[in-house]
């Protein structure tokens, strides 16, 4: 959910098609990625460290003819590539052994010509999905060794960790004894299965936080921000009705201290608290949730999910 | 999938959740069994292969700019209280202030 740990830089290099170049640029900018300052060698930024990622987008044919493949071989392990195939000549290159042999997860080919004209969203969608998989709070691979009770995890940014199941802070409370583990599609969670075939899904961010103190701090910070945003909206709903905190406390039966904690993002409202809040405001719970929501259903198709319905 | 009663004594910072799963077309909406606050669900299988999270209180989507089809947003609105209850039951909500 947080996932801003580590920096993902990008380079767009030698893409002949202006429209494809612009699609790539627009998609990467919209994802909040930073354009790499370094130009050559795949490690241009001196500040880059493991956990940071460099994503290079370019034409397959130009990489194959020039020094691109050497760059891949020499690049640090956190570099990921997307290479575009757009011409008949490029497609023939795919059959060349020296290129095909290097088609691994660090060298990806997106064939924009294989099935006729591609929709304009093909490249942005591919880049978005790729960047999602590279995040530190995604698990790309997981295994469980039942003999020693060790869970092995490889995260999206290449960091891998082995941790004893019993040492995970939440494990005792689950009462769960896994015998196998696997990363789920999209890497959002890990699926654990016990001997009886019961399943437990564990959020990938929770797992990263268990093995990475820096990430845990960042996750706490991000979650606090989200609570604060929700609390601010709750305060606006109250103020829009001309009610003081004291008024609402009296009308809802919720202690003022609890209201304060809710509005300042120090706790999440429970369902019964929402019911009391709605009653105190003289509205239905569904109406309260609608007022707290950042978007309306009817507007979402046109404006996307990040836009606010009200100011 | 765990039952609510089996894993009800979780601290607020990391909740152990009764999984909530729903489908809206090809899009899956899910609450993980073990997750961190604040209340949120995962959405995956979006057009173009996208995925993200949705805050259960504000329905704010992460990452910002991720587009949800109208039908999915409608489903989230309709099931919002169910999902908050699913989250809340397991972390011990609903038992007073």
* B contact residues 51-80, partner A, Cβ 8 Å cutoff: 51, 53, 55, 57-70, 73-74, 77, 80
Nearest by CB to residue A292, choosing from B6, B58, B81, is B58
How do beta strands B14-16 and B34-36 pair?
Answer: antiparallel
> Based on the domain organization, do A127 and A19 belong to the same domain?
yes
Spans in chain A with pLDDT lower than 70: 1-7, 37-53, 62-108, 113-120, 295-311
Query: What are the residue ranges spanned by the domains of chain B?
Result: 5-90
Query: At A42, phi and psi to the nearest 5?
Result: 70, 10
CB contact (8 A) between residue A289 and residue B65 = no
Q: What is the pTM of this model?
A: 0.74
Interface test with A, best of B23, B24, B28, B35 (most A CBs within 10 A): B35
Average pLDDT over residues B28-33: 90
Q: What pLDDT was estimated at residue B14?
A: 54
A/B interface, count of CB pairs below 8 Å? 162
Last residue of a domain, one of A133, A167, A201: A133
Nearest by CB to residue A301, choosing from B13, B32, B70, is B70
Q: What pLDDT was estimated at residue B33?
A: 86
- d(CA A35, CA A54) in angstroms, rounded, equals 9
CB contact (8 A) between residue A170 and residue B74 = no
- d(CA B76, CA B82) in angstroms, rounded, equals 10
> Is residue A165, in this structure, part of any structural domain at all?
yes
**Domain interval for residue A194:** 139-211
Q: What pLDDT was estimated at residue B15?
A: 55
Residue among A4, A53, A12, A14 at smallest CA distance from A29: A12
> Is residue A310, in this structure, part of any structural domain at all?
no
> Based on the domain organization, do A202 and A219 belong to the same domain?
no
> Based on the domain organization, do A23 and A106 belong to the same domain?
yes
Nearest by CB to residue B93, choosing from A129, A270, A286, is A270
Q: What pLDDT was estimated at residue A204?
A: 94
CATH number of the structural domain spanning residue A111: 3.40.50
Q: What pLDDT was estimated at residue B1?
A: 43
B23 interfacial to chain A (CB closer than 8 Å): no
Q: Which two tokens stand for residue A96?
A: 């060349």
The pLDDT tens digits for A217-265 are 988 888 888 889 889 999 999 999 999 999 999 999 999 999 999 999 8
> Based on the domain organization, do A158 and A121 belong to the same domain?
no
CATH number of the structural domain spanning residue A230: 1.10.260.40
> Based on the domain organization, do A66 and A113 belong to the same domain?
yes
- d(CA B67, CA A241) in angstroms, rounded, equals 32
Which distant-in-sequence residues (6+ apart) come within 8 Å of A248 by Cβ? A238, A254, A259, A277, A280, A281
> Based on the domain organization, do A190 and A262 belong to the same domain?
no
Average pLDDT over residues B46-66: 83
The total number of structural domains in chain A stands at 3
> Based on the domain organization, do A195 and A223 belong to the same domain?
no
Q: What pLDDT was estimated at residue A307?
A: 31
> Is residue A3, in this structure, part of any structural domain at all?
no
Last residue of a domain, one of A111, A133, A155: A133
Q: What pLDDT was estimated at residue A81?
A: 64
> Based on the domain organization, do A32 and A108 belong to the same domain?
yes
> Based on the domain organization, do A198 and A127 belong to the same domain?
no
């Amino acid at each position: 959910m947080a996932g801003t740990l580590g920096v993902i830089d990008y380079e767009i290099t030698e893409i002949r098609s202006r429209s494809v170049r612009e699609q790539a640029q627009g998609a990467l900018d919209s994802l909040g990625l930073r354009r790499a300052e370094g130009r050559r060698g795949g490690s241009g930024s001196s500040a880059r460290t493991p956990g940071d990622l460099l994503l290079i987008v370019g034409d397959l044919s130009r990489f194959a003819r020039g020094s691109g493949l050497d760059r891949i071989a020499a690049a640090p392990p956190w570099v990921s590539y997307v290479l575009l195939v757009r011409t008949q000549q490029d497609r023939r290159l795919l059959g060349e052994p020296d290129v095909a042999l290097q088609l691994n997860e660090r060298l990806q080919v997106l064939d924009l010509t294989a099935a006729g004209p591609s929709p304009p969203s093909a490249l942005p969608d591919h880049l978005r999905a790729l960047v999602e998989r590279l995040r530190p709070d995604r698990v790309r691979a997981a295994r469980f060794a039942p003999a020693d009770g060790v869970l092995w995890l490889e995260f999206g940014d290449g960091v891998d960790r082995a941790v004893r199941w019993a040492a995970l802070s939440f494990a005792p409370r689950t009462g769960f004894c896994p015998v196998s583990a696997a990363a789920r599609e999209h890497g959002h969670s890990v699926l654990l299965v016990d001997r009886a075939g019961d399943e437990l899904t564990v959020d990938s961010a929770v797992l990263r936080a268990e093995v990475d103190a820096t990430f845990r701090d960042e996750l706490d910070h991000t979650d606090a921000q989200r609570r604060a945003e929700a609390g601010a909206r709750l305060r606006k709903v109250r103020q829009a009705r001309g009610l003081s905190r004291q008024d609402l406390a009296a009308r809802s039966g919720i202690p003022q201290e609890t209201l304060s904690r809710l509005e300042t993002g120090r706790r999440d409202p429970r369902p019964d608290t929402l019911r009391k809040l709605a009653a105190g405001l003289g509205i239905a719970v569904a109406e309260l949730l609608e007022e707290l929501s950042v978007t309306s259903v009817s507007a979402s198709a046109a404006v996307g999910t990040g836009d606010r319905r009200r100011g | 999938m765990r039952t609510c009663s089996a894993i009800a004594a979780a601290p607020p910072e990391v909740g152990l959740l009764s999984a909530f799963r729903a489908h809206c077309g090809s899009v899956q909406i899910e609450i993980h069994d073990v997750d961190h606050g604040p209340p949120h669900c995962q959405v995956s299988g979006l057009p173009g292969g996208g995925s993200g999270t949705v805050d259960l209180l504000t329905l704010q989507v992460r990452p910002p700019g991720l587009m949800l089809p109208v039908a999915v947003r409608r489903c989230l609105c309709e099931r919002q209280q169910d999902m908050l209850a699913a989250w809340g039951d397991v972390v011990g909500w609903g038992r007073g202030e």
